Structure 1
Amino acid sequence: MTPPSYQHLTPETLDAWLTADDPLTLVDIRDPASFANGRIPGSLHLDNDSLPALLEAAPRGQPMVVICYHGHSSQQAADWLAGVGFAEVYSLDGGFTEWQHRHPGRVER
């Protein structure tokens, strides 16, 4: 069995990266209504319609963090994104639900 090509990222580590203003690409794969209702600031909504633009514009060498509801479906998306050439891809552990619980002040609406 091949090990995943992405890494897991804790909410604490992402919070530290955002505080340090590290260059990141944040992609949120939740449904459009959930994304509109609340998201991590700076996140891009990623779906089948926005995928071509992301593949064209996102820096391949910059860390990319994939966000879903609970940190499960983001793993599959992170694995796929790493497979198409993004060098450093992470799945956010606990997803947006955990992020919102731990960092309610860092939720954009």
Structure 2
Amino acid sequence: MATPSFRHLTIDTLTTWIDADYPLTLVDIRDPMSFAGGHIPGSRHLDNDGVPALLESAPREQPLVVVCYHGHSSQQAAAWLAGQGFAEVYSLDGGFSEWEHRLPERVERGRP
């Protein structure tokens, strides 16, 4: 039996998907203060306490993108989520740090 796996996603591809209103679930696994300080618009904060709600509510057939600080810990989270039945799971290469560096105008501060 094959082990479920995730794929890497570039910032350029994620930007294209967001601009095209491509249906996806975008989760940010950084700590709550970092998330509040800035995050990719449309993302939701995900910590261990929020995992059951995500598993219950997120559409399994739609891409799930995991964001962390630099694109390292998101790989572990993405691999685990791939094993939970999501059809397409991605880890954002470069993480939020690279997103903020390249696209500072596309950072949402706090929660609306």
Pair in the same fold by TM > 0.5: yes
Asked if the contact 2:4/2:82 (under 8 Å) is kept, the reply is no
Deviation at 1:103, TM superposition (A): 1.0
Extract structure 1 runs of 4+ deviating beyond 6 A: none
Residue number in structure 2 paired with 1:39: 39
Q: CA RMSD for the aligned pairs?
A: 1.2
Residue number in structure 2 paired with 1:76: 76
Residue number in structure 1 paired with 2:91: 91
Residue number in structure 2 paired with 1:50: 50
* Matched letter for residue 67 of structure 2: I
TM-score by length of 2: 0.93
Gaps of 5+ in 2: none
Sequence identity (%): 75
Q: Find the aligned partners of 1:60 and 1:26 in 2 and give their Cα distance.
A: 13
* Residue correspondences, number: 108
Matched, 1:5 2:5: yes
Gaps of 5+ in 1: none
